[in-house]
Structures are given as C-alpha cells and as structure tokens.
Chain A
Amino acid sequence: MRSLHPARILTPILGLAALITYATGCGGGDSAGDTLRLGVATPLEQFIGAQTLRGVELARDQLNADGGVRGRRVELLAVTDSASAQRAVSVADGFFSDATIAAVIGHSTSGATLAGAAIYNRGLAAVSPTATSPEISDAGDWIFRIASSDAANSAGLARFALRELGTRAAILYANEPYGRGLREGFGKAYRAAGGELVEEYPYIEGTTQDFEAYLMGIQTAGPDLIFIGGLDASAGLIIQQARELGIEAPIIGGDGLLGLAGLDPVYDGTYVGLLYHPDAPGQTSRQFVEAYRSAYGELPDHFAALAYDAVMLVAQAAEEVGIDRERIRAYLQEVGSTRSGAPGVGGLIAFDEKGDPQDKSYAVGRISGDMMELVSVEGGT
C-alpha cells in the first residue's frame, strides 16, 4: 500500500515561482532550429499546474538524456492559464503565433481546454493530460487528451460497482454539468448492465447543506451502494450525514472525491475513481514511479503521470514524422487506429476519431487513512 500526498502546501510556492511564464532550458542560447519546442499550458500557480509541470519536466529530462528527438534537445515553454477560460484563449493565441512551438501539452482543466480549442483548431495540436469533460470529445480535430472522458470513467465505475458492491444503487448528484455528466454516465451503464437505480437526487454544489431528507429516503429504499456525482466539499457533508444516520452502504464517486483522503477517518472505505494509480501494473508504470520518486522524493499523482504520458506521446510523433505541426497532428490521429497504440504509464493510449482515448484503463481506489489503496483496474489492456 502506498499513499498519495495531496501536497497542497506546494501550490503557493510553485505558483509564485512559475507565475505567468516558466520557460525551461533558458540560458543555453539554443535557437529553435535545433530543438523540439513544446508549449505547456496549465495553472502553474495551482496544485494541478505544479504537479503537471513535474510530469512534463521529468519526461523532458529523460528524452534529452537519451539523445533528444531526432538528435534535437526537447525544450518546454510553460505558461499559466490559471484554469480560466479567458486566460486560456490568450495563452493558446501566443503558442499559435510562435512558429517554433511544434505542439502543446495542455490544458489541464476542461474549461480551459474547451476555450483554447477554437485557437488550436487553426493548426496546432494540443494534447490535454487531464481534461475529462465529455464536451471535449467534440472540441475539434486538433484536440487530443490522455485522460478518458467522464462518460467513459463513470461507466467504468458503474461496472466496478455492479460487480463488487451490489445491484441496487442510489445516486446523489450535483445539479451542474460535471455532476449531471457523471450521473448520466454512471446511471446509463449501471442500468444497462442490469443494475437498478432506487433513487436519484440532485443537490446544489456548495449550497445544499442539509441532506437529511435525501438520506432518509435512501435509507428507506435500502440500496447496496450510494454513488456521489460531485466534488469533495458536498460529498464530505453527504458522507458525514449518512454515517450519522447509520447508513452503512458503501459510497463510491468520481475523481472529484480525491480530496477527501486523509481529511477524516469517516471517509475511510469510500471508493474513488482514479485516472492513474502508482500501483497500476506494468513495467513502464513501475519505471516511471521509480524515476519520479528519485527526482521528487514522493509518488506521482495522475496530473504528473498523464502529463508525462502526453510529452512522451508528442515526442514519439515528432521522432516518427518530423517536427511539423500538421504531420504531428496526423500522426496523433492515427495512434491506435492505423498505427498501434502508445504504451503510457497511465495505460495504453489509443485515440478514437474524436481524439479521445479508447478503452483506457481506469483505476478504482479506496480511502484508507491518508492513503489511497488500489482496489481494481477497470478496462484497458
């Protein structure tokens, strides 16, 4: 059993250091002509951005140690989008206008990725490591992502829940796009596989405080499990109130619940869907975990792991077809269809025609103190 440190304390420090622009490999006087330059768009001043940066830099250092791409050094130009749609548009515009940028790793969040898509679709491939909104599927031909869509992930959770937890489920979901997406994905897959949804209750994220009526209703219905489609703040309240009422049914949720680990023993035993887990099997994954730990002294999370995968994938494309925006996009489009899939530390990467990863493995963890136990890996190859 290994533990994941939220490491939120790092956020402000890294944020100050890397605010606005963080260009790596500076001072070497390298011209763009003999380097492979990749844009990195992520909220650098936030935890997500800091972790993402660790992943991309580890990938860069490994590539350069192995002789670079086509004999050229890999260089990263990291710019913060502050996880804001407005800021994301100007970051995307800057990358697009800079002819030395061959492709973009980013953005980390769904909203920023969707906002930047309009610019990237003019001719610059962007590979988002962790954006999971189903809307990104239709964001355009130049947009790819390493993490699978919420729709696919919630279906994976539904399969796990039905197999391991029981055939009668109650759903509590945040009545906004993320929560509704999870509710729909989970509900559809659960029903399709033979499960029964006994109750489905909406709440307002951050506003609804009293879940008593819902939980009593659920208690009456007596489901085998409770699925929470939402973020950790409301989920925490729900779990506390449920346990107070004496509801023992296991609780399961998407990666929005990740933040509950280590906060309170009442959350122990909660199942959480994970885009990545360091205990995931496979040699690539183990080597990455070792390298990451020796570089940063802790275990990688999914932000770092999937960002690492994104850089490695783009480098592979440039190695194969050359440093050219259109050729790199065409190569990415073929990964998993006319070309074989790319092995990643977060599972095999194979894009469908919308640039979404197909059959991506999806881990299910269980909160145990401040650790996240790996319980199951759903799907994937």
Chain B
Amino acid sequence: MIKTIRGRQAGAFAVLLLGLLAAGLLGIRSLKGLSAEFEAGMADVRQASEIGTQLQRDVLELIFAAEGYLASGSRDSKRRFAELAGRTQDVATRYRDLEGMGAAEVRQVERLTSALTQLEVELARAHALYDIGRRTEARELADAAHPLAEEVASLISALGERQAQLLQASAIDLQDRARERSNYVFTIVVLAFVAGILLALATVRSIDRPLATLVSAARRLGSGDLRTRVSDETMPKEFASVGAAFDSMAGGLRNIAEQVVSTTSQVTSSAAEFSAISEQVAGSTHEVALAMSEISEGADGQARALSETAAAVVELRDGTDRIASDANKNRELSHAVRHEAGQSQESVRQAVELLLSLREVVHKSAEEIQGLEATSDRITGFVKRITSIAEQTHLLSLNAAIEAAHAGHEGRGFSVVAEEVRKLAAEADTAAQEVDETVTNFRKWVSNATDRMRKGEGQVTQVEGVARGAEGALDSISVDLERIARATDQALETVERSRTLLEQVAGHVETVTATATAHAARSQDVSAAVQEQSATTQQISASVSELVAAADALRSAVKEWDV
C-alpha cells in the first residue's frame, strides 16, 4: 500500500495518463493503418475507374467513328477511327497492373483485348467494303460486329464491377477493423477512468481523517492543555510528520512554561537588588564623566600645537628642497659656463697664433718693399746719367750743326746727321724725364705702402696684446668656476644632510602629532562613553523598575497554566 498522499495522487494520475496514452497510441496507429489502407484502396479504385472510363470513352468513340463513316462516308470519321484503333488495347492491358487481379480477371482482360482487336478488324473490313462500293455487305459486317461491341462493353463493366466488389469487400473489412480498434480504445479509457477515480477517493479520505485529529488537538493546546499529543501510526506519512512536529512543539512549550514559572520568582527578587546597585553606579559614572571631559580638552590643545610644529617643519623641509634644487641648477650652470670658457680659450689661442703669423708676413712684406726703394734710387741715378748724356749729346749736335754750316755745301750731309743726333738727344731726354716721373710716382706708392704696413704691424701687435689679455682672463675664469663648482658641491652635500635630518624630525613630529591626536580622540571617546554609560545606567534603573512590575504581572499570569 502506498504510504504518502503524493504517492497516491501520482499513482492515480499515472494510471489515468497511461490509460489515455495507450488509448491514444492505439487510436493513432489504427487511424494511420486504416488511412493507408484506405488510400491504397482508393488509389486502386481511382486507377481502375480511370482505366474503365477511358476505355469506355475510347471504345464508344471508336464505334461512333466507325458507324459514322458507314452512315455518311465522312473522311474525318475514318481518320478518327484509324487514330483510335490500337490504342484501346494498350489501355486494356493497364488493367493487368492493378492490385488484386486474380487469374480470372487476367483472363477477362485477355478476352477484352482480343475482343477489341477483332472488333477493330471487323469494323475496318466493313470500311473497306464500303470504300469499294459493297455497302450492303459493309452494313451487314458492321451489324455482325455488334455482339463483339456488346461483349466489350460487358467485359469493361464486369471488370469495373469486380473492382467495385473488391473495394466494397475491403471497405467492409476496414469498417470491421475500425470498430474492433475503437472497442479496444473505449475499454482502455473506461478502465483507466475507474482506476483513477478509486485512487482519488482513497486519497481524499486519507486527508480528511488525520486533519480532524490535528484540528481538535490544536484547539486543546490553545485552551492551555499543554499535555495534548496527536501521534498516530495509521496516518499517511505527510500527516504523521505534521503530528510529530505538533507533539514536539507541545513538549517544547511545556518545558518553556515550567522554566518561565520558576525563573519569574527569581527575577522578581533579584530585580529589586539590581535597582539599588544601578543607582549607585549612575552617581559615580557622572563624576568620571566630568574628569574625562577635562582630560579630553588638554589633549586637544597638545595635538593642535604639535600640528603647527609639524607644519613648520614641513615648510622648512620644503625650503631645503628648494635650496638643493637651486644649488643643483647652479652646479649645472657653472659646469656649462666652464665648458663654454674652455672652448673660448681655445678659440682665443688659435686667433693669437693666426695674428702672430700675420704679423710675420706683414713684416717681411715691409722689408721687401724697402728693398724696392733702394732699387728706385738706383733707377733715379741711372735716369740722371741718361739726362746728362742727352744734354751733352744735344750740345754736341748743336756744335756739329754749326760746324756743318761752316763747312757749307760740303757740310750739308753732316748737317743732316747733326740734326738727327739732336733729335735723338731730345727724345732721350724726354724718355728720361718720363722714367723719372714714373720712378717718382713709384716711390710715392712705396712710401705709402711702407707706412701702411708699419701701421698694420702696430695694430697686429695691439690685437695680440688684447688676445693675450683675454686668454689670461679666461684662464682665471676657469679657475674661479672650478672653485665655484667645488663650493656648490659642498653646499649641496650640506643641504642633503640637512634635508635628511629635517625629514627625520618631520617624521618624529608627525608620529607625536598622530599619537597626540589619537590621545585626544580617545579621551573624547572615553568621555562620551562615560556620558553614555551614565545615561544607560539611568535607563537601567528605570528598566529595573519596569522589570520588577513585569515580574509581578508574570507571576500572576502563570498561575493559570497546567504544567
């Protein structure tokens, strides 16, 4: 037997569902099977009826065309007959492919084919007779073919009927099977339904009974009967666990009630003692609070002073940092300047060397020019001699001319020579004077050049002096810079040391400040706590009074409990 309500419910549903599922599956399968059979049956019937219809139509048309030609001689009818001839047999042979064709039916089809063949031949022969004018014979032949046509018609309808019979048989069979299946389905559904209802009723009953027991027990417990118990082995599992919980709750309640009753009297007596003590505590706490308040203020002042000191130290440290950074910049600057000075010194030295070589060149040039002056002096001497020779020659030529004049006609040739000599002397004199002029100009130029050179030499000497001075000055600058760099380094070192010291000092000051601040805060906390405690103590006093009153009320209340 199932012990739980859930189990019983699940069981009931499962039975119902299984029943319905089985019924559904069976129904679907049956429907599918039946519908497939039905489809197949219908397809066969459709095919059979198509073949039958087409065959009937073709045969009728064939006979109609044949008779039409015999009646009217229309070529169209004859052509139509020729077209249809041979086609009907092909349609008839399609009967053979149908389902459910027994040997008897196959023979019928063969008979039909052969009858159609004969019919066609007879009608064609009738046409031939008609064509050659033997119309009576043609008519007789066509009439003789009527039984064949009737046989064809009856065979077609027999085959159709046979198909219809087959269909009817299969329809009846189908119906029987459908009825059988539907009976199965109905039985399964009814059985499942009955089983489900029975299980549901059992479930309802197994809830009702234990529920009533629980309700009455709860009522008894409410009215103060703490000894009430409901445990029962026959209950369903869910209710059995509710009953056990109820029992343990009732037991717990009973224990609590007992303890409450015994504790109440103790509480009442100790509450009074506690009230007195708490009032004393309240008084002393107030004093402590006042003292703490003073301590707190002192600590605050100390913390503020230390904060200021710390700020000063920090400022000092910042100043030192700035000095250090300036000194650093200084040092970098002096290094740069020293480097610059070194480079300048080198340039100056090169310039001096250049100047010295220049002076040498100028000096040499001056000497060479002075040599030129001596040469020009010699030229002047030479010119003077030429001039005097020219004068003497001139005199000589004059004398010669006079002598020639004296000589008369015989002296005429000589006179010409004398004249030429005089001209020569004049030209030489002119040339000498030109040379003299040139030399004089040359001398002037040489003298000017010499002067300029001397002046230049002097200036070069002056520049050299200046350069030498600059070199010296740069040397001393370099030395000074070296000294400055060293001093800066020392200063930096000193600053670094000071900074370290200052940082240590700042650290100490911060620590001290933090400690002082913490002290101040803590003393404030203590002071607040003391004040709070004082208030609490007063509340306790008040509560104790209430407690005493409550204990009295409780004692009177539990008197009614049955424990």
Contact = CB atoms under 8 A, between A and B. Distances in A.
Interface stretch (B120-128, B258-266, B471-479): B120-128
B125 A183 contact: no
B86 A201 contact: no
B132 interface: yes
Contacts of A26: none
Contacts of B275: none
B86 A180 contact: yes
A93 to B, nearest CB: 23
B120 A202 contact: yes
Interface in A178-236: 180, 183-184, 199-204, 208, 213-214, 216-217, 220-221
B128 A216 contact: yes
Given A213-B134, A220-B132, A176 B117 contact: yes
A316 interface: no
B118 interface: yes
B316 interface: no
Given A180-B86, A220-B131, A213 B125 contact: yes
A197 to B, nearest CB: 8
By DSSP majority rule, is chain B's interface helix, strand, loop, or mixed?
helix
Given A200-B82, A201-B124, A202-B86, A216 B132 contact: yes
Contact of A201 (B117, B128, B134): B128
Contacts of A213: 125, 128-129, 132, 134
A175 B132 contact: no
A244 B124 CA distance: 22
Contacts of A201: 124-125, 128
A297 to B, nearest CB: 44
Interface in B460-497: none
B547 interface: no
Nearest to A176: B117
B398 interface: no
B129 A175 contact: no
Interface in B106-138: 117-118, 120-121, 124-125, 127-129, 131-132, 134
A217 B121 contact: no
Contacts of A203: 121
Interface centre among A199, A213, A214 (most CB of B within 10 A): A213
A272 to B, nearest CB: 23
A204 B115 CA distance: 11
A201 B128 CA distance: 8
Given A175-B86, A180-B86, A213-B134, A202 B128 contact: no
A306 B512 CA distance: 128
Interface residues of A, number: 18
Interface string A145-167: 00000000000000000000000
A214 B118 CA distance: 15
B85 interface: yes
B117 A217 contact: no
Interface in B73-101: 82, 85-86, 89
B131 A217 contact: yes
Contacts of A183: 86
Nearest to A172: B124
A202 B132 contact: no
A34 B118 CA distance: 57
A205 to B, nearest CB: 10
Contacts of B134: 213
B120 to A, nearest CB: 5
A217 B128 contact: yes
Contact of B121 (A180, A199, A202): A202
Contacts of A204: 117-118, 121
A213 B82 CA distance: 17
A217 B85 contact: no
A34 B19 CA distance: 68
A216 B131 CA distance: 8
Contacts of A175: 85-86, 89, 117, 120-121
Contacts of B121: 175, 202-204, 208
Contacts of A184: 86
A22 B121 CA distance: 44
Contacts of A216: 128, 131-132
Interface of B: 82, 85-86, 89, 117-118, 120-121, 124-125, 127-129, 131-132, 134
11 contacts: A175-B120, A175-B121, A183-B86, A199-B128, A200-B82, A200-B85, A201-B124, A202-B85, A202-B124, A214-B124, A216-B128
User: Which 3 A-B pairs give the minimum distances between C-beta atoms?
Assistant: A217-B128, A213-B128, A217-B131
Interface of A: 175-176, 180, 183-184, 199-204, 208, 213-214, 216-217, 220-221
Given A213-B129, A213-B132, 17 more contacts: A175-B117, A175-B121, A180-B86, A199-B128, A202-B117, A203-B121, A204-B117, A204-B118, A213-B125, A213-B128, A214-B124, A216-B128, A216-B131, A217-B131, A217-B132, A220-B131, A221-B131
